[in-house]
Structure 1
Amino acid sequence: MNKYELAVVFSPNLDEEAKNAALEKVQGYITRFGGTVEKVDEWGKRKLAYEIAKVNEGFYYFITFTADASAPAEIESRIRIMDAVLRYMITRIEE
């Protein structure tokens, strides 16, 4: 099992309920592919470094999880098609 961190930026147009549903969906993908969520760090609404799809802000979340080496590719393929997600990145944390 490897340790990973998922950085995800959600659209600023989401209301609280839709934002929580999108976060639950992402966490569901992690657990579906054999991972366990260790920590969810919410940074809130922040200004983006550059404009994405005519949007200047987004809700930032950092999710730390452990999973097998094949899980990040499966998780990314599901997150890629979510409408609420502006950007995402999974990085492996060296122990």
Structure 2
Amino acid sequence: MRRRNYEATFILNNEITEEEHEAAVERIKNSVEGSAGDITELEDWGEKRLAYPINDLYSGYYYMLNFEGNADTVDELERNLKLIGGVMRYMVIRVDE
């Protein structure tokens, strides 16, 4: 399969503990690396106000993850993002070269 560049943006719940926060980010990184992906950059944008409330929350921790992988890498990442309890929203897009 062809490897492409992808960008994933996700928002973590700001009410989870610091340990749960770090564990969620580590699990997301491991899901990319465990499915033949290479992380090129992970940016912590910090806590930001949401455009609209999600489950009565008005802010969350934003992250942007750039990685290289194939369709299986994206599928595994999205599967893990759905399973991790602290993830409020996410979006994965392919970056054009």
TM-score bracket relative to the smaller structure: over 0.9
TM-score by length of 2: 0.92
| 1:3-60 deviations in Å (ceiling 9; x for gaps) | 0011010000123222111100100000111101110111000000111111110000
Q: Which residue of 2 aligns with 1:18?
A: 20
Once superposed, what is the RMSD of the aligned Cα atoms?
Answer: 1.0
Q: Which residue of 2 aligns with 1:94?
A: 96
Gap runs ≥5 in structure 1: none
- Sequence identity (%): 28
Q: Where in structure 2 are the equivalents of 1:1-95 lying within 5 Å?
A: 1-95=3-97
Q: Which moved more, 1:70-79 or 1:49-58?
A: 70-79
Q: Distance in 2 between matches of 1:77 and 1:17?
A: 21
Which 4+ residue blocks in structure 1 deviate beyond 3 angstroms? Answer: none
User: How many matched pairs?
Assistant: 95
